[in-house]
Amino acid sequence: MDRRLRRAPDAEWVLMYRLGLSRKRIAELVRAEPAAVGYHLVIARCQDPGLEAEHQAAAGAVPTPYPSPADLSRMEEVVAWALVEGRLPDGRSSDRDERSMARWLSDRRREAAEGTLDPAYSRGLAQVPGWAENPRAAADEERWNQRLAQLVDFRHEGNDWPRHHDYDSEREHTLGVWIHTQRYKRRRGDLDPMKAKLLDAAVPGWQTGRTRGRRPRS
């Protein structure tokens, strides 16, 4: 781990922030990643609740607590919505308010990944299971596992490997395209090693596919 991260908060960075410099500007001056500077500042704000007000005053802004009452109110709104609906807000929803909540949650998710999420947000959002996960990535993972299960069933029914060309059904086509994609990724070295192991265990021979009975090319 970086020396500065082990000794957070860095006194020099905190002083610069106290004098009104932004996280981005501090990162530029000390040649550090903004996320690293943010990590130190989160810890510094926890240790010194008055730090943010001093920063705002030095920067010429009206001192406000961070997160502000409005920020915390927004968090409570998002948490309440998620608990009532039993899901996370969807950024592709037709509802404008839901899209707005999804964007807000995406910002907090990014801060959590960077290590800069304020503890107040962390405590509040802990009420929502899985809030920090990328919903699109989670959906893609679930879809991958479903396709694998469908391929296992297809093979157990006595079928040969599904084709993505010259297929006999949409089901075969869907599975044929999917397994063709996995083979392509495997050859390029892009397939997740864990997924390769799952394929090896569930459908041995998946990399080779059909070796007999292939239809001749016209």
DSSP secondary structure code for residue 30 in this structure = H
In this prediction, residue 179 has a pLDDT band, given cuts at 50, 70 and 90, of very high
Instruction: Identify the residue with better confidence: 3 or 115.
Output: 115
- pLDDT tops 60 at residue 64: no
pLDDT at 1: 39
Cα atoms in the Cβ-side hemisphere of radius 13 Å centred on 131 = 29
pTM of this structure:
0.46
Average pLDDT, the chain: 85
pLDDT at 95: 92
Rounded Cα–Cα distance for residues 127 and 152 (Å): 37
Find out whether 105 and 131 touch, Cβ atoms under 8 Å: yes
pLDDT at 159: 94
**Percentage of residues of the chain with pLDDT beyond 70:** 90
pLDDT at 213: 52
Instruction: Identify the residue with better confidence: 9 or 151.
Output: 151
